[in-house]
Amino acid sequence: MIRSSTSFLIVLLFSGFCRGQDINTRTLLTVDGRKTEAGEFIRMYRKNLEPGKAQDVDAYLQQFILFKLKVADAMRQGLDTTRSFTTELNGYRNQLVRSYLTDNTTKEKLLKTAYQRSLTEVNAMHILISLPENASPEDTLRAWQKASAIRQRILNGEQFDRVARSSSDDKSVLLNGGDLGFFTVFQMISPFEDAAYSMKPGQVSQPVRTPYGYHIIKVVAKRPSSGRVRVAHIMKNSPPGTDPAEAEKAEKEINAIYDKLKNGADFGEMARLYSDHRESAVNGGKLDWFGTGEMIGDFSEAAFAIRDTGTYSKPVRTLYGWHIIKLLDRKKPGSYEESKSFIESRINQSWLDAVSRKTFTDRLKKEYKFSIDQNSLNWFILNTDTLVIQGLKKYDRSLMPAGNLYSFANRSTSNSGFADYVEKRGFIIDTKDSAFFVNRTLEIKAADDLISYENTQIEKKNPEFRYLMNEFHDGILLFELSNRNVWNRVSEDSAGLIKYYEKHKIEHLTNPGINATVYTLRIADGGKKLETAYKKYSSKQNARELLDAKFNKRKDTLLVITKRRWFKGDDPVIDSLKWNKGEQYLKINGFPSIISINEIIEPLPLPLRDVKSEMMAAWQDELENTWREQLKKKYSVKLDNMVLAEVKKKLAR
């Protein structure tokens, strides 16, 4: 009784502990001894979830397990120890970590501002007065005065596009009159974007300075975000400078394609056969998802104007030619949480670091109990003169006090280490004030050291960063191993492809056919006449001439005799017959006819050149399936069903 009560108590305590523990940090899955936290699975599930579409958690879990099995296989083969892998992963980390070594409050505010902007699209015009970033004060003043004078002309009533064509240094002005069309966040350089989003429609800005020069901006309109669309298109090239005859030909061809589509032709097939945009034509004309400002304006506006998925536009003229556009799918703007990762990836990190570096390092100083030895600091101030500041003299180490100048998180910088930094620094602080010089140099070095240390702690402190790095780590390995096991083999192993073709060629056959002669008498009630004449003459060697002489005495075409091959799908009337040797009576377009089938053409395997793409795809699937089964047998998988149940509850909220 005591033992059973104790066991019951242990169960209660354990279940309470599990509820209290953060579900994200608990181990959901262990593959070949490598643990995966529930938080990583939750993040990947949500990342791959299409807005508005539910996804079965168990089904996705099986995909996720297969992904981890492949990663385990790559690690067993040592792919994670190669120099190329380490270099690539470190490159991703160096890019990614910048957004984490910043003040989060500032960062979050900036992200929310960018998200709010992403919900609005701006149509603006601009005039550019070019000016290099390192321009002299005199040149800068002249450019600003020129831009101000141009602005005044517009305020005085001159048409913006006319002024732009005569004044703007943006070469595209000859084509667009300065009209940039609609754009959204991250599609313009920051100062330009800031100005455009702060203005109301109809307003003309003061000169706005960017690295390209001064801009005069006029906001034409604003509208809610159109979201993103995916389309397919058929294109006929007709870029600027095209010969008029060629341009006319392109227009006729696109109109002919449009007529075929209206008569029931398949859009994807038309794109594959006739589109000049070969990159998309091979995929039935399909393009990647895009939003406003990511495609040429005329194309984008036409695509977003299509209301219903599955429908297509009339031929649309753009700068590059003619297009017929079919809407495949549409996405509305996501919530802030759904959009945050994308927005974060687009922010200018160097600018963000400059804005938030001081507040960030101040927070780190508090967190890691940063402290300065005042006596050491005073020594440096007293022993720093203009020669040291200018890099022409070194400190006298024999007079330097022992010990550390500053310390934090059980780390420290010695006085001699700081002196080395000052003497070897690659920057100049323009001052003669020793106190300012020492304090400013100390501030720079301490910030570098604090941020460098924080860099080593990111994975421990920030689950999101840890999951992202796991994603990069696993993704690089998966790509490399998939290349070796599947993709490269399919594309490069011609002998293997031929072997696969020989094994499966029976699955890709030509259509069956017949060799036959059809006699059609264009007299609606002439069936008896045709039958009588056919029986009389068909056995004779010159039967065709005799029948022709009987019915076509006036050299007309009452009797039409057609001798050819028919294949399944060529003619629905011929398809409906029983394909047996001999004669059959039928009606063609209401006229009596006789078909004489002389030969049955049996289906044959299509040559490899005609089915190569299908064979490669099928072989790739076979290799993937074989690999999958091998992995399941080779590596152990342990799934914590209690954690999985908690994960499902969290995802269902």
Q: What is the 3-state secondary structure (H, E, C) of 152-189?
A: HHHHCCCCHHHHHHHHCCCCCHHHHCCEEEEECCCCCC
Q: Residue 315 contacts by C-beta under 8 Å, 6 or more apart in sequence?
A: 251, 254, 255, 258, 322, 323, 324
- CA dist., res. 206 & res. 193, Å (int): 14
pLDDT for residue 20 is more than 70: no
Confidence of residue 21 (pLDDT cuts 50, 70, 90): low
DSSP 312: B
Q: Among all chains, which residue has been given the structure tokens 């039409």? A: 560
- Summarize pLDDT for 375-412 with one digit per residue, the tens: 999 999 999 999 999 889 999 999 999 999 999 999 99
Of 144-148, 215-219, 463-467, 579-583, minimum mean pLDDT range: 463-467
Alpha-helix residue ranges (DSSP H) falling in 483-569:
488-492, 494-504, 527-537, 543-551
- What beta strand segments (E) does 99-247 contain? 120-130, 179-183, 208-210, 213-224, 228-237
Q: In Å, what is the CA distance from 546 to each residue of 520, 523, 533, 553, 598?
A: 15, 18, 9, 11, 20
- Summarize pLDDT for 449-471 with one digit per residue, the tens: 999 999 999 999 988 899 989 99
Q: In Å, what is the CA distance from 303 to each residue of 128, 297, 306, 487?
A: 29, 10, 6, 34
Q: Residue 432 contacts by C-beta under 8 Å, 6 or more apart in sequence?
A: 386, 389
pLDDT for residue 489 is more than 70: yes
- Summarize pLDDT for 101-134 with one digit per residue, the tens: 877 777 788 889 999 999 999 999 999 999 987 7
Confidence of residue 9 (pLDDT cuts 50, 70, 90): very low
Of the candidates 573, 574, 579, the one whose C-alpha atom is nearest the C-alpha of residue 597 is: 579
- CA dist., res. 359 & res. 366, Å (int): 11
- Summarize pLDDT for 330-363 with one digit per residue, the tens: 999 989 998 888 887 777 655 655 667 888 899 9
| pLDDT, the chain, mean | 90
Mean pLDDT of 610-634: 90
pLDDT for residue 191 is more than 60: yes
pLDDT reported for residue 3: 38
Q: Among all chains, which residue has been given the structure tokens 């706005």? A: 208
Q: Residue 309 contacts by C-beta under 8 Å, 6 or more apart in sequence?
A: 327, 328, 329, 330
Three-class secondary structure of residue 361 per DSSP: helix
Give the other-Cβ count within 10 Å of 616's Cβ.
15
Q: Among all chains, which residue has been given the structure tokens 């570096």? A: 357
